[in-house]
Chain A
Amino acid sequence: MAKKTGAEILWECMIREGVEVVFGLPGGAIMPVYDAMLYYPVHHVLVRHEQGAAHMADGYARASGKVGVAMSTSGPGATNLVTGIATAMMDSSPIVCITGQVHSHLIGGDAFQETDVTGITLPITKHNFLVTRADEVADVVRQAFYIARSGRPGPVLIDICKDAQVDEVEFIYPEKISLPGYHPPKNAPLDDLKQAAELIDQAESPVILAGHGVMMSGATEILRTFATKTQTPVAMTLLGLGAFPASDPLSLGMMGMHGEAYCNLAIQNADLLLAFGMRFDDRVTANLRTYAPRARKIHIEIDPSEVHKNVEVDIPLVGDLKTVLTDLVPMVDEHDHEAWRAEIEAWRRESQARDILYWADDGKLYTAHVIRNIWEATGGDAILTTGVGQHQMWSAQYYCMEKPNRLITSGGAGTMGFGLPATIGAWFAQPEKEIWLVDGDGSFQMTQAELSTAVQEGANIKIAIMNNRFLGMVRQWQEFFFDSRYSGTPLNGPNFVKIAEAHGIPGKQVSTPGDVLPAIEFARQTEGPVVLEFQVEKEEAVYPMVPTGADLDKMIRRPVREQPQAAD
């Protein structure tokens, strides 16, 4: 049998895992892998900073449902991946990171560009491997991809010593994966399902809390069947947006700190919460002691350590959401819940009266309006990526998702700078789709260097920067909770259109409402990357807002503006 180097075996195995594109930046300790890459049918995207590689792999994974791959050298190359790995961990995104490591006999000796990468990434990966011998490569790659995408997905890191890359060994592709301690759960026990069905049939004011897990387990269809059969309103987490169509009358939109007021009110007044693939993050529960005080709780979740973690539940159903829901649907009766839905409808009307969407044109540019215009222009069907901050929350509120896996945003980690690289990654996953990045001026500048990656790759992405010359969300907190002392938040940013031009990217600056739609059309008609800089209101706040530690229904509401055309 022909021998192969560890580097060749790495590619042999990754090709068999379906890897078509990798995002990375070479350096000394990973050079044999880069050299071998030339002989395999894989496209390499050269990033400008390794953080971008991890976010691109993440964006690729979220947009494709496949495992994304990031590559870097040892030492600083690997540590630059860390923020991206932590981001993928918090949002359960399946990525595999390949990092070069110094020769195995040099490990522990503080060699040039040696860093204990498996040590550093231990708490922020689902699992990681240090490979010191070429004959370990095949098994490790097989295991890494399986672990990354199965169960509750997450990032896996493979740190490969340079000698393990260059040494030659016989290559036998491992048909079996040997992981004696790894058993992702699948079904929930029948008795527990029966108890859950009983609670569901007794409920008078139930609410479904749909999270990221709905989409990751491919349960959107069965969720809709369940919600329709039982006429249960569906609230979504930030990462759950798209799990249930926003236009369905049962949709309550987003829950939590910046969730719809009527959605939070429904949760607080519910007598049964059905938590589907979500983890009761503090941004969605607010004060835990007063959270949904009357509600019994059923939690369908694949990760047993999430059950009872933040919220004690009555019936945990540990398993794959799609499998569990499919088993559960025939066990529950049809319901109408007419009175409950009418109650929610009244709250919804009250919320709409405050909505900025119904403000008359006052000549000012509001981020919410711009995002709504992008939504209208794209038919609500674009893949929308964001950075982190006010623009992200407005995107969640005003780019209403009809279909799954359209919103790509850093939820749990809240990583500013996620947007641009994640967008590039998403474009590689769905090059035929329309892809918009809505970013803030602060967030965008953190990974702005990846503009040249976008140009080099000819990525057909549309970039809308909401420039309010502030770190807007922090400024909003300062306004609300620190008597408007704007410490460290004003940004004297660049002219983003000139930045774009320096990269050969066409751009437009927009400062009046009348120019918004033409600019969006210009971007849509132009092939390749386009940058639109919207000079929006500087001191606008995201409403509603639940202050940290407050009860979920104690929201700071947008003041009602007197105007004739407010929706009823």
Chain B
Amino acid sequence: MQQLTLIALVENKPGVLNRVASLFRRRNFNIESLNVGRTEKPDISRMTIVLENGNVDARKAEANLYKLVNVIDVQDVTNQPAVTRDLALIKVSATSEQRAEIANLASIFRARIVDVAPDSVIVEITGTEDKIEGLIELLSPMGILEMVRTGQVAMMRGTATGIRYAPRGNGHQSGDNSHG
């Protein structure tokens, strides 16, 4: 399915994640994954939001995100020159004889085995969604016991930015006292 990937910079305040999630629920936008974390600026958090491209397009999602007072900037990086990464931990059922095969697969995918137990191993893989899906497909026959994924994070290459559908104003008028 077609997906949208958006980057949102938001104020680092309690409840902002709840506001974003609530907005998408209320507008009936389906979240594929949502990653939130700190940035180089302590008062700003960064979200990478992947949406199912069902009843929402990027312009609509952006316009709705801007309705949230705490959202500072939104960029659409879908199909843009961006680096996108997802991290997965995959626990695979493995006898001692199967370990070599898993290690082999892992190295092809530049994944790593980060834990070995008598009857299972944990594989850590970082990459694009396609790459991770590829490894999962190959590991499935051995029996995936558990899996966790971070969801995508994304960053534009170089100095390019994603698409901004509604260019922002030059800052709002501080101290404005006009009556609405």
Q: Do A and B come from one complex?
A: yes
Question: Chain A interface (Cβ within 8 Å of chain B)?
Answer: 18, 65-67, 94, 118-119, 122-123, 126-127, 130, 146-151, 153, 175-186, 216, 303-305, 307-309, 318
The reply to whether A184 and B172 contact each other, CB–CB distance below 8 Å, is yes
The reply to whether B60 and A308 contact each other, CB–CB distance below 8 Å, is yes
The reply to whether A304 and B166 contact each other, CB–CB distance below 8 Å, is yes
Binds A, one of B18-26, B92-100, B129-137, B150-158: B18-26
| Smallest CB-CB A-B distances: 4 pairs | A149-B180, A305-B63, A183-B169, A304-B63
Residue ID in chain B nearest A180 by CB atoms: B72
The verdict on A146 contacting B176 (CB below 8 Å), with A122-B22, A181-B10 known, is: yes
Residue ID in chain A nearest B44 by CB atoms: A180
Determine how close the nearest CB of chain A comes to the CB of B23; give it in whole angstroms: 8
A318 partner residues in chain B, CB cutoff 8 A: 166
Interface string of B66-94 (1 = CB under 8 A from A): 11111111000000000000000000000
A127 partner residues in chain B, CB cutoff 8 A: 68-69
The reply to whether B71 and A181 contact each other, CB–CB distance below 8 Å, is yes
Is B149 positioned at the interface, with any CB of A under 8 Å from its CB? no
Which of B64, B72, B176, B178 is within 8 Å of A181, CB to CB?
B72
B14 partner residues in chain A, CB cutoff 8 A: 130
B178 partner residues in chain A, CB cutoff 8 A: 149-150
Query: How many angstroms from the CA of A118 to the CA of B14 in the assembled complex?
Result: 12
B166 partner residues in chain A, CB cutoff 8 A: 185, 304, 318
The reply to whether B22 and A175 contact each other, CB–CB distance below 8 Å, is no
B59 partner residues in chain A, CB cutoff 8 A: 308
Is B174 positioned at the interface, with any CB of A under 8 Å from its CB? yes
Determine how close the nearest CB of chain B comes to the CB of A239; give it in whole angstroms: 15
B168 partner residues in chain A, CB cutoff 8 A: 183
Determine how close the nearest CB of chain A comes to the CB of B13; give it in whole angstroms: 10
Determine how close the nearest CB of chain A comes to the CB of B64; give it in whole angstroms: 5
Query: How many angstroms from the CA of A94 to the CA of B178 in the assembled complex?
Result: 13
The reply to whether A149 and B169 contact each other, CB–CB distance below 8 Å, is no
The verdict on A177 contacting B176 (CB below 8 Å), with A183-B169, A186-B169 known, is: yes
Which of A123, A176, A182 is within 8 Å of B175, CB to CB?
A176
The reply to whether B180 and A150 contact each other, CB–CB distance below 8 Å, is yes
The reply to whether B63 and A183 contact each other, CB–CB distance below 8 Å, is no
Query: How many angstroms from the CA of A274 to the CA of B30 in the assembled complex?
Result: 33
Which of B63, B67, B172 is within 8 Å of A307, CB to CB?
B63
The verdict on A149 contacting B175 (CB below 8 Å), with A122-B19, A305-B64, A308-B60 known, is: no
B69 partner residues in chain A, CB cutoff 8 A: 126-127, 147, 179, 181-182
Query: How many angstroms from the CA of A499 to the CA of B135 in the assembled complex?
Result: 76
Which of A18, A177, A179, A305 is within 8 Å of B66, CB to CB?
A305
28 residue pairs of the A-B complex, CB under 8 angstroms, read A66-B179, A67-B179, A94-B180, A119-B18, A122-B19, A122-B22, A123-B23, A126-B69, A130-B14, A149-B179, A149-B180, A151-B180, A179-B172, A180-B11, A180-B72, A181-B11, A181-B71, A181-B72, A181-B73, A182-B69, A182-B172, A183-B169, A216-B180, A303-B67, A305-B60, A305-B64, A305-B67, A308-B60
**Which residues of B from 6 to 36 have beta carbons under 8 Å from A?**
10-11, 14-15, 18-19, 22-23, 26
Determine how close the nearest CB of chain B comes to the CB of A12; give it in whole angstroms: 16
Determine how close the nearest CB of chain A comes to the CB of B43; give it in whole angstroms: 9
Determine how close the nearest CB of chain B comes to the CB of A81; give it in whole angstroms: 19
A180 partner residues in chain B, CB cutoff 8 A: 11, 72
Determine how close the nearest CB of chain A comes to the CB of B170; give it in whole angstroms: 8
Is B118 positioned at the interface, with any CB of A under 8 Å from its CB? no
B63 partner residues in chain A, CB cutoff 8 A: 303-305, 307
